[in-house]
Each structure stands twice: as C-alpha cells, then as structure tokens.
C-alpha cells in the first residue's frame, strides 16, 4: 500500500519558498529545505526530481500566485485604499531584512535566467495593470506611464526599508512614504491660479 503524503506538493513548495527567502538561494541546501519542510532530502528528490527542479517549481508557484492574486483582486469603494492595499499585499513577503535580502538574491536570477526573466515580466505587467486600474478609477487620464513610475517607487521603497535603521514595519514605511507621493501626483497640476 503506498504511503499517503502528509504534505501536499503545494505546501512543500510554499515552505521551501519561505526557507529560500530567509536564507537566500545560494545558502539553501537540500538538507536545509528538508528541515524546513519536515522531509528528508531523499524524499524531496523523489518528489521533485532534483534541487534545480524543486527551485523552479517554487518560483513558478510563487509567480503564478502573485499573478493570480492581481487578476482576482476585487474593487472596493475607495480606489486609493485599493491601490495601497495592492502594494501592501505585494510587500507581505518582506517580513524581515533577511527576507528582503533573499528577494534581492532571487532578483539576480530573475534577470540572468531567460525563463525566470519572462515570468517576472509577466508579474510586473500584472502589477502595473493593477496600479493603472486604480489610478484610472482615481481620475488619472493616462494611468499607464504613471503606473510604471509608481511601481518603481514601490520597488525603491522596499530597498530603502531594508537598509534603514528605523523600526517601522514595511507597511508603515509604505504608508509614510508612498501615500504622500501618490496624493501629490494625483493633485498635479494644481488648479489654475494655485501654483
């Protein structure tokens, strides 16, 4: 009689992603992943084929989850709140500075590996589309160029948060530094005679 899996492949992949973000992809070994998910390295190899195949499944699942979330995001009554909630959701993986460093290490692979680069482009396209949707609801007449700039601001703020000595959470950091820029952009140019 075959043994029943205690953890689904999806649960293993989610736990493996957390371990990779915490330790960085170069330091993530099969024994480390095995301890993180509660399975032996041999079992991981049996289920996923190789360390490389396991890593690719982790990345594919993470990217698909982000894109699916963006596509299924409901519209609330306040587009500004929706936009900030979108960026808060994208910042959730940045729990600690170690996780931010893990994301940066993965970004190197997103840039240098062609398959990963294309998947990351798909995610960024979906993120910018979500930002543009909320900007359009806020009355922005040409939201696409502004969406690219706001996505770049968000990315820069994530890096700044990881470097700063401040104790604020990443969400507080976003509210403090992203919100006022968004408000200033949405009220520019000022009404006639107000400049």
Domain spans in the chain, listed from the N-terminal domain onward: 1-72, 77-195
Q: Above pLDDT 70, what percent of the chain? A: 92
> How confident is the model at residue 167, as a pLDDT?
65
Class of domain 1-72: mainly alpha
Other Cβ atoms within 10 Å of 143 Cβ, number: 20
Q: Model confidence over 15-34: pLDDT tens digits?
A: 988 888 788 777 888 999 99
pTM recorded for the entire structure: 0.79
Q: Model confidence over 120-133: pLDDT tens digits?
A: 898 899 999 999 99
Q: Model confidence over 41-73: pLDDT tens digits?
A: 999 999 999 888 998 898 888 888 878 888 888
């Amino acid at each position: 009689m075959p043994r029943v899996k205690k953890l689904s492949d999806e649960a293993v992949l989610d736990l493996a992603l957390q371990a990779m973000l915490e330790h960085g992809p170069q330091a993530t070994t099969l024994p480390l992943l095995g301890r993180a998910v509660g399975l032996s390295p041999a079992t991981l190899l049996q289920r996923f084929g190789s360390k490389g195949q396991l890593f690719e499944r982790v990345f594919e699942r993470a990217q698909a989850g982000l894109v699916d979330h963006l596509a299924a995001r409901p519209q609330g009554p306040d587009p500004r709140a929706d936009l900030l909630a979108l960026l808060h959701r994208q910042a959730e993986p940045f729990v600690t500075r170690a996780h931010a460093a893990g994301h940066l290490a993965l970004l190197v692979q997103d840039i240098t590996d062609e398959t990963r680069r294309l998947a990351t482009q798909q995610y960024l396209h979906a993120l910018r589309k979500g930002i543009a949707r909320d900007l359009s609801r806020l009355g922005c007449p040409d939201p696409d160029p502004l969406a690219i700039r706001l996505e770049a601001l968000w990315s820069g703020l994530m890096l700044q948060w990881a470097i700063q000595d401040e104790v604020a959470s990443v969400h507080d950091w976003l509210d403090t530094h992203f919100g006022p820029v968004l408000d200033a952009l949405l009220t520019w140019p000022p009404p006639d005679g107000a400049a």
